[in-house]
Amino acid sequence: MIDKLYRAFVNATHNVFNLMLSITEISDHPTEDFKCDDEVDIAVGIVGDLYGEVIYRFPVSTSLNMVNIMSGMQFNTVDVFVISAVSEIANIISGNVLTALSDSNVKCDILPPVQCKPYEDKEYEMKTSCCISTTIGDICLVIKLNRAS
Protein backbone atom coordinates (compact mmCIF):
# COMPACT_ATOMS: atom_id res chain seq x y z
CA MET A 1 0.00 0.00 0.00
CA ILE A 2 2.78 2.41 0.94
CA ASP A 3 4.43 1.93 -2.47
CA LYS A 4 1.11 2.47 -4.19
CA LEU A 5 0.58 5.72 -2.28
CA TYR A 6 4.10 6.89 -3.02
CA ARG A 7 3.69 6.22 -6.73
CA ALA A 8 0.21 7.80 -6.80
CA PHE A 9 1.54 11.07 -5.33
CA VAL A 10 4.56 11.16 -7.66
CA ASN A 11 2.35 10.50 -10.70
CA ALA A 12 -0.22 13.09 -9.66
CA THR A 13 2.51 15.70 -9.13
CA HIS A 14 3.89 14.86 -12.56
CA ASN A 15 0.47 15.25 -14.20
CA VAL A 16 -0.37 18.50 -12.44
CA PHE A 17 3.01 20.05 -13.25
CA ASN A 18 2.64 18.98 -16.85
CA LEU A 19 -0.91 20.28 -17.29
CA MET A 20 -0.68 23.46 -15.22
CA LEU A 21 2.93 24.51 -15.64
CA SER A 22 3.93 22.73 -18.88
CA ILE A 23 6.77 21.01 -17.01
CA THR A 24 7.40 17.48 -18.21
CA GLU A 25 10.79 16.62 -16.73
CA ILE A 26 10.16 15.29 -13.26
CA SER A 27 12.03 12.67 -11.26
CA ASP A 28 11.75 11.35 -7.72
CA HIS A 29 14.60 10.78 -5.28
CA PRO A 30 15.12 9.91 -1.60
CA THR A 31 14.21 12.72 0.78
CA GLU A 32 17.86 13.05 1.82
CA ASP A 33 18.39 14.79 -1.53
CA PHE A 34 15.99 17.58 -0.51
CA LYS A 35 18.00 20.59 0.59
CA CYS A 36 16.14 23.72 1.56
CA ASP A 37 16.60 26.56 4.04
CA ASP A 38 13.43 28.50 3.42
CA GLU A 39 10.19 26.84 2.43
CA VAL A 40 6.42 27.04 2.28
CA ASP A 41 4.92 24.00 4.01
CA ILE A 42 1.35 23.05 3.21
CA ALA A 43 -0.59 20.27 4.96
CA VAL A 44 -3.54 18.56 3.32
CA GLY A 45 -5.56 16.45 5.77
CA ILE A 46 -7.01 13.14 4.61
CA VAL A 47 -10.08 11.45 6.11
CA GLY A 48 -11.89 8.24 5.25
CA ASP A 49 -10.52 4.71 4.71
CA LEU A 50 -7.11 6.28 5.24
CA TYR A 51 -6.57 9.22 7.55
CA GLY A 52 -3.67 11.48 8.32
CA GLU A 53 -2.00 14.13 6.24
CA VAL A 54 0.33 14.89 3.41
CA ILE A 55 2.85 17.68 3.86
CA TYR A 56 4.04 19.49 0.76
CA ARG A 57 7.35 21.26 1.35
CA PHE A 58 7.81 23.84 -1.39
CA PRO A 59 11.12 25.75 -1.30
CA VAL A 60 10.54 29.49 -1.67
CA SER A 61 12.21 29.53 -5.09
CA THR A 62 10.03 26.65 -6.35
CA SER A 63 6.89 28.39 -5.01
CA LEU A 64 7.76 31.65 -6.75
CA ASN A 65 8.62 29.87 -10.01
CA MET A 66 5.28 28.04 -9.96
CA VAL A 67 3.30 31.23 -9.46
CA ASN A 68 5.37 33.15 -12.02
CA ILE A 69 4.62 30.49 -14.65
CA MET A 70 0.92 30.34 -13.86
CA SER A 71 0.38 34.09 -13.74
CA GLY A 72 2.88 35.25 -16.35
CA MET A 73 3.80 37.90 -13.76
CA GLN A 74 6.90 38.38 -11.65
CA PHE A 75 6.60 37.42 -7.98
CA ASN A 76 9.75 37.99 -5.91
CA THR A 77 8.54 37.31 -2.40
CA VAL A 78 6.22 34.82 -0.77
CA ASP A 79 3.03 36.47 0.39
CA VAL A 80 -0.55 35.41 0.98
CA PHE A 81 -1.24 35.28 -2.78
CA VAL A 82 1.68 32.87 -3.38
CA ILE A 83 0.81 30.73 -0.35
CA SER A 84 -2.80 30.52 -1.52
CA ALA A 85 -1.79 29.53 -5.08
CA VAL A 86 0.65 26.80 -4.01
CA SER A 87 -1.87 25.56 -1.41
CA GLU A 88 -4.38 25.13 -4.22
CA ILE A 89 -1.83 23.14 -6.21
CA ALA A 90 -1.26 20.87 -3.18
CA ASN A 91 -5.04 20.54 -2.96
CA ILE A 92 -5.29 19.60 -6.65
CA ILE A 93 -2.48 17.01 -6.45
CA SER A 94 -4.06 15.43 -3.36
CA GLY A 95 -7.51 15.42 -4.97
CA ASN A 96 -6.10 13.65 -8.04
CA VAL A 97 -4.45 11.00 -5.85
CA LEU A 98 -7.69 10.30 -4.01
CA THR A 99 -9.56 10.01 -7.31
CA ALA A 100 -6.95 7.47 -8.46
CA LEU A 101 -7.22 5.56 -5.16
CA SER A 102 -11.01 5.46 -5.40
CA ASP A 103 -10.57 3.25 -8.48
CA SER A 104 -9.02 0.72 -6.07
CA ASN A 105 -11.99 1.10 -3.71
CA VAL A 106 -10.08 3.23 -1.21
CA LYS A 107 -12.52 6.00 -0.32
CA CYS A 108 -11.10 9.19 1.19
CA ASP A 109 -11.74 12.93 1.25
CA ILE A 110 -9.35 15.81 1.65
CA LEU A 111 -9.53 18.73 4.06
CA PRO A 112 -8.72 22.31 2.96
CA PRO A 113 -4.96 22.92 2.75
CA VAL A 114 -3.33 24.82 5.60
CA GLN A 115 0.09 26.33 6.02
CA CYS A 116 2.06 24.36 8.62
CA LYS A 117 5.47 23.40 9.91
CA PRO A 118 6.69 19.89 9.07
CA TYR A 119 6.76 18.74 12.71
CA GLU A 120 7.40 15.14 13.60
CA ASP A 121 4.37 14.80 15.83
CA LYS A 122 3.21 11.21 16.11
CA GLU A 123 3.57 7.70 14.76
CA TYR A 124 1.75 6.67 11.62
CA GLU A 125 1.10 3.19 10.29
CA MET A 126 2.19 4.28 6.82
CA LYS A 127 4.84 6.90 6.41
CA THR A 128 6.91 7.71 3.39
CA SER A 129 8.47 10.73 1.78
CA CYS A 130 10.15 11.72 -1.43
CA CYS A 131 11.95 14.55 -3.09
CA ILE A 132 10.52 15.43 -6.49
CA SER A 133 12.89 17.27 -8.80
CA THR A 134 11.61 19.49 -11.58
CA THR A 135 13.17 22.06 -13.87
CA ILE A 136 11.83 24.85 -11.63
CA GLY A 137 13.07 23.35 -8.37
CA ASP A 138 12.48 20.52 -5.92
CA ILE A 139 9.48 19.65 -3.79
CA CYS A 140 9.39 17.32 -0.79
CA LEU A 141 6.28 15.28 -0.04
CA VAL A 142 5.76 13.65 3.35
CA ILE A 143 2.88 11.15 3.41
CA LYS A 144 1.65 10.13 6.87
CA LEU A 145 -1.43 7.92 7.00
CA ASN A 146 -3.25 5.37 9.14
CA ARG A 147 -5.84 2.83 8.04
CA ALA A 148 -9.30 3.40 9.49
CA SER A 149 -10.25 0.44 11.67
Partner 1 sequence: MLWKDKYELGVPVIDAQHKELFKRVESFLQILRSGDSWDEKVPKINETLEFMKKYVVEHFRDEEEYQRNINYPRYEAHKQIHDSMVNYVQDVSKQYEQSNNNEYLMQQFGGKLLAWLINHVAAEDQLIADYAIKKGMRDNDR
Binding site for partner 1 (CB under 8 A): 15-16, 19-20, 67, 70-73, 79-89, 92
Residue pair 9/99 in contact by the 8 Å Cβ criterion:
no
Q: Least distance (Å) from partner 1 to the CB of residue 82?
A: 6
Q: Output phi, psi for 138, to 5 deg.
A: -95, 165
CA angle at 99 for the pair 97 and 100, rounded to the nearest 5°: 65
Q: Least distance (Å) from partner 1 to the CB of residue 121?
A: 26
Identify which of residues 85 and 126 has a Cβ nearer to partner 1 in the complex.
85
CA angle at 110 for the pair 112 and 45, rounded to the nearest 5°: 70
Identify which of residues 42 and 145 has a Cβ nearer to partner 1 in the complex.
42
Separation CA 103–CA 109 (nearest Å)? 14
With H, G, I as helix, E, B as strand and everything else as coil, classify residue 96: helix
Separation CA 89–CA 87 (nearest Å)? 5
Identify which of residues 41 and 129 has a Cβ nearer to partner 1 in the complex.
41
Identify which of residues 83 and 143 has a Cβ nearer to partner 1 in the complex.
83
Q: Least distance (Å) from partner 1 to the CB of residue 112?
A: 10
